[in-house]
Amino acid sequence: MENLSHNINSQIAALEGLQQQHQKNLSLAQEIDAIYQNAQLPIVDPTALYAANMAAFKLYIPDIHASFVDYQPAKFELAQRHGELHLVDVEDNIVLGENYYRDGLIDFEKYRFNPQLTRVDFSDEIDNPINFVHVKYINQLTNLVSQVNQQHKQELILPEAVNMMVCFGLGLGYYLPLMLSKHQVKRLYIYEPEHDFFYASLFTLDWAEILQQLDANNSSLHLCLGANEDDFFADISSELIAKGRYDSTFSFCYKHYATEQMDKALEKFNNQAYQVAFGFGFFDDSLLALAHQYHNLNKHVPLLGKAEPLPECATLPVFILANGPSLDEHIDYIIANRDKVLLVSCGTTIRALHQYGIKPDFHLEMERTRTTHSVLQSVGDEAYLRSIPLLTLNTISPDVLDLFDRQLMALKMVEPSTEIIMNPALGCDNDNLTQLMYCNPTVANLALSFFTQMGFKNIYLFGVDLGFSGDAHHSKKSIYYDQSGQDKQLFNKKALANLVAPGNHVDQVETTMIFQMSAVGLTALLRLNPEVNCYNLGQGIRIDNTIPTYQADICLPDSTLDKALFVEQMLTHYAVDTRVLAQQYSHILHQNLFSEFVDEMLALLQPSVADRYAALEQLQQQFILLHSKYETKDAFLADMLRGTLQHCHASIIKLLLLPASAEQGLVYYQQGIAIFVNYLQETKVKYNKELFEADKTDMSATWQ
């Protein structure tokens, strides 16, 4: 009977979906018919319109005014054809079509009824063995979004209130008045690769009215003009960071006209929006960072400081050894040359190196949960670990530090614990300290960040695959495989490797979102350090700014360096004492300003909202409050909830805008807000209870 009931319900749902689609098609046909009957190109005085538009841009966006006040078209210009203004090219061909005005309105009308989205969703419900508040409530939101999506996926239309509209192409912009007459757009982003097109629109489109309307609605307009796809993505990423990254997970994308350049830009945004959406941490993560730094400073572990590079850094090669499957292919070479280089072990690589009989000169770890302690203990050789210096981050579990006799921590940029130390308004002794950039999400990122910061110029990547060209996903000697080489199923390659990327020494590889973000971080760090020669010997993802290299291509300098002595020099030269800092940091933590900040955030959610645009405004006000804390002594509080806000807002916007009915969207919005409120309330309880508690989760049964 259950199967019969399920089949009947499925058939009913399918019929309802067909009925909804039929109704959409009928409504669209009526709108298109109205355009055919009524569309008349507005009669304007181009010269007067240009003057009014330039005056408006001078008021609202002065940079646009400055760029176009003396502009001369290069490839396209306006010309009268059949009594209408058209864009023509240098050969006098009409560029956008004989019936451009009418066709443009029809095209946008079609989009309104079948909008395209760039959408980033969180994973399905995940396990929560450490009892994180964040995971608990994100699971609730994810389940609710899944239910709403299933119920309303057939009826998606462009809602009357739009959180973010990304227009790929402006042309002469005739579709904009139609858009803004039927939809309140909170954030309007227009990408137009042709400067000439935008310049022409100054003579055909009433920009002054558009700017005034957006301003009256407390909306924003951002214009990206003349950019290629890479510059476009960098620009829209910056815009999202400044005004709310959560919109990157649910952006309406309208392509006004098709060119190769436009297609590249849209594809890049679709494929890489997750890089803007993810990677922010969350409340529990940040709380552990505060607690762990407290304990680590009280252990008087030194911090990485500002220092001139030691002379040897200019020539001494560094081998960064990560746990990708290609590591196994290079082991003999690494063993043969280990006296000529610094060997640097990353994370779970340490167990593989132990199996191969290799002791690295440094080991690096970064994960803040105590899981790292369990993984390290699985090596089964306490003396081996103690003999290796540990390079790590200030967020690391204190229990991990206890496994090593020599340690050096670095401050991880954009962490609340780091913000407390580096914020000049809080008065910590930080003059000699430095922060690591692009040091996550993998330990390979941390290794490259550490050694570029210390001034090394020649770095070789072994096993930094970050992708898979075969069945293996890690070194066969690592913790992910048993002694016979059988996969222990600790890494679900099939579920995680859902992306394809260009390869290094291979055409392409499968990869994961985290691994691709790691490659992006490595690329960005090397871009900031062009003097560094970074050679990639892996058979994984291609990492821009590295040099694809084979063993036969490497020419290592002869060395008589006493490595053991040099390692001790490094640990002394780059270290800053933390005893005074430990006292200063403890004093600030004991002030406990977090609950008051959360109450401010909660107060913004108390007023009821009358429509979907008011709901979008409510979410934006929370974002504005959060970011108002930056550049103040309370900036670390914003870091505590930055990821929380991002993830929750991303889900709540979907609940709000997925249904065609505004009333139904508001019902789901309130359900999402209720979950978010409970989340924020529980953060206050956990903060007060666990601020000074290090993670004690025992995962040794899993990581053996």
Specify whether 372 is located in the same domain as 517. yes
Specify whether 32 is located in the same domain as 52. no
Number of domains in the chain: 4
Over residues 62-86, the mean pLDDT reads 89
Q: Report percent pLDDT > 90 for the chain.
A: 79
- In this structure, what token pair is assigned to residue 504? 């290094």
pLDDT digits (tens, 9 = 90+) for 261-278: 999 999 999 999 988 887
Specify whether 450 is located in the same domain as 546. yes
CA atoms within a 13 Å half-sphere pointing along the CA-CB vector of 15 = 6
More confident residue, 608 or 484: 608
**pLDDT for the residue 128:** 84
Contacts of 687 (CB under 8 A, 6+ apart): 287, 592, 594, 595
**pLDDT for the residue 459:** 98
Q: Establish if 206 belongs to a structural domain.
A: yes
| Cα angle, residue 581 at apex, residues 576 and 583 outer, rounded to 5° | 150
Least confident of 260-264, 474-478, 597-601: 474-478
More confident residue, 79 or 410: 410
| Residue 364 · residue 450 · CB < 8 Å | yes
Q: Establish if 703 belongs to a structural domain.
A: no
Residues 32, 29: Cα–Cα separation, whole Å? 5
Specify whether 22 is located in the same domain as 76. no
CA dihedral over 175, 178, 180, 184, signed as positive or negative: negative
Q: Which residue has the tokens 């909830």?
A: 641
Specify whether 570 is located in the same domain as 610. no
Q: Is the pLDDT reported for residue 420 higher than 70?
A: yes
Least Cα distance to 353 among 373, 380, 326, 331 occurs for 331
| Residue 629 · residue 639 · CB < 8 Å | no
User: Kind and range of the H or E element at 549?
Assistant: none
Q: Is the pLDDT reported for residue 68 higher than 90?
A: yes
**What does the CA dihedral 215, 219, 224, 230 come to, rounded to 10 degrees?**
160
Specify whether 337 is located in the same domain as 423. yes
Least Cα distance to 404 among 290, 218, 571, 166 occurs for 571
Q: Is 401 helix (H, G, I), strand (E, B) or coil?
A: helix
CA atoms within a 13 Å half-sphere pointing along the CA-CB vector of 21 = 8
Q: Give φ, ψ of 543 to 5 degrees.
A: -115, 110
Q: CA 355: distance to chain centroid?
A: 36
Residues 210, 217: Cα–Cα separation, whole Å? 11
Over residues 7-15, the mean pLDDT reads 50
**pLDDT for the residue 4:** 53
Least Cα distance to 53 among 215, 210, 224 occurs for 210
Specify whether 417 is located in the same domain as 557. yes
More confident residue, 7 or 488: 488
Confidence of residue 39 (pLDDT cuts 50, 70, 90): low
Residues 235, 255: Cα–Cα separation, whole Å? 18
pLDDT digits (tens, 9 = 90+) for 421-430: 999 999 999 9
Specify whether 502 is located in the same domain as 390. yes
**pLDDT for the residue 34:** 66
Q: Establish if 699 belongs to a structural domain.
A: no
Q: Which residue has the tokens 């969350």?
A: 282
Over residues 582-586, the mean pLDDT reads 97
Distances (CA, A) of 417 to 372, 561, 579, 604: 20, 37, 16, 26
**pLDDT for the residue 689:** 96
Pick the most confident of 123-137, 302-316, 480-494: 302-316
- State the first-to-last Cα distance of the chain, in angstroms, to the nearest integer: 46
Residue 392 DSSP symbol: E
- Longest CA–CA span in the chain (Å) reads 87
Least Cα distance to 650 among 262, 237, 141, 307 occurs for 141
Specify whether 12 is located in the same domain as 55. no
Confidence of residue 103 (pLDDT cuts 50, 70, 90): confident
Confidence of residue 154 (pLDDT cuts 50, 70, 90): confident
Least Cα distance to 457 among 557, 340, 250, 314 occurs for 314
Residues 466, 502: Cα–Cα separation, whole Å? 11
Whole-model pTM over 0.85 = yes
Least Cα distance to 690 among 291, 371, 400 occurs for 291
Specify whether 529 is located in the same domain as 605. no
Q: Is the pLDDT reported for residue 16 higher than 60?
A: no
Q: How many CB atoms lie within 10 A of CB 624?
A: 12
What letter represents residue 690's amino acid? E
Q: Establish if 285 belongs to a structural domain.
A: no
Crossing angle between the packed helical segments 283-298 and 635-657, to the nearest 10 degrees:
160
Q: Is the pLDDT reported for residue 341 higher than 90?
A: yes
Confidence of residue 503 (pLDDT cuts 50, 70, 90): very high
pLDDT digits (tens, 9 = 90+) for 242-261: 999 999 999 999 999 999 99
Q: Establish if 340 belongs to a structural domain.
A: yes
Crossing angle between the packed helical segments 635-657 and 612-628, to the nearest 10 degrees:
170
Structural domain ending residue among the three candidates 277, 310, 344: 277
Q: Is 518 helix (H, G, I), strand (E, B) or coil?
A: helix
- The full DSSP string for 599-631 is HHHHHTT-S--SSHHHHHHHHHHHHHHHHHTTT
Over residues 395-406, the mean pLDDT reads 98
Over residues 328-332, the mean pLDDT reads 96
| Cα angle, residue 635 at apex, residues 189 and 188 outer, rounded to 5° | 10
Structural domain ending residue among the three candidates 532, 548, 576: 576
The domain in which residue 107 lies consists of 43-277
Specify whether 180 is located in the same domain as 308. no
Over residues 482-504, the mean pLDDT reads 84
Least Cα distance to 455 among 610, 567, 316 occurs for 316
Q: Establish if 296 belongs to a structural domain.
A: no
Over residues 452-481, the mean pLDDT reads 92
Over residues 332-352, the mean pLDDT reads 96
| Residue 623 · residue 241 · CB < 8 Å | no
Q: Is 172 helix (H, G, I), strand (E, B) or coil?
A: coil
| Residue 115 · residue 157 · CB < 8 Å | yes
Q: Is the pLDDT reported for residue 537 higher than 80?
A: yes
| Cα angle, residue 545 at apex, residues 540 and 547 outer, rounded to 5° | 65
Residue 474 DSSP symbol: S
Structural domain ending residue among the three candidates 576, 608, 643: 576
Specify whether 31 is located in the same domain as 52. no
- In this structure, what token pair is assigned to residue 300? 């008087």
Q: Give φ, ψ of 88 to 5 degrees.
A: -125, 155
**pLDDT for the residue 558:** 87
Radius of gyration, CA atoms only, the chain: 28
Q: Give φ, ψ of 447 to 5 degrees.
A: -60, -50
Residue 305 DSSP symbol: B
**pLDDT for the residue 209:** 97
Distances (CA, A) of 7 to 14, 146, 533: 10, 20, 62
Q: Establish if 360 belongs to a structural domain.
A: yes
Q: Is the pLDDT reported for residue 363 higher than 80?
A: yes
pLDDT digits (tens, 9 = 90+) for 157-216: 999 999 999 999 999 999 999 999 999 999 999 999 999 999 999 999 999 999 999 999
For the chain, helix, strand, coil in percent to 5 are 50, 15, 35
Q: CA 613: distance to chain centroid?
A: 26
Q: Establish if 701 belongs to a structural domain.
A: no
pLDDT digits (tens, 9 = 90+) for 112-121: 999 999 999 8
Mean pLDDT score across all residues of the chain: 92
Least Cα distance to 194 among 229, 166, 230, 169 occurs for 169
Over residues 136-148, the mean pLDDT reads 96
Residues 330, 538: Cα–Cα separation, whole Å? 9
Q: Report percent pLDDT > 70 for the chain.
A: 94
**pLDDT for the residue 37:** 65
Q: Is the pLDDT reported for residue 62 higher than 70?
A: yes
51-57: Cβ within 8 A, 24+ apart: 52/206, 52/208, 53/202, 53/205, 53/206, 53/207, 53/208, 54/202, 55/208, 56/207, 56/208, 56/211, 56/212, 57/207, 57/211
Q: Which residue has the tokens 């430095």?
A: 434
| Cα angle, residue 518 at apex, residues 517 and 519 outer, rounded to 5° | 90
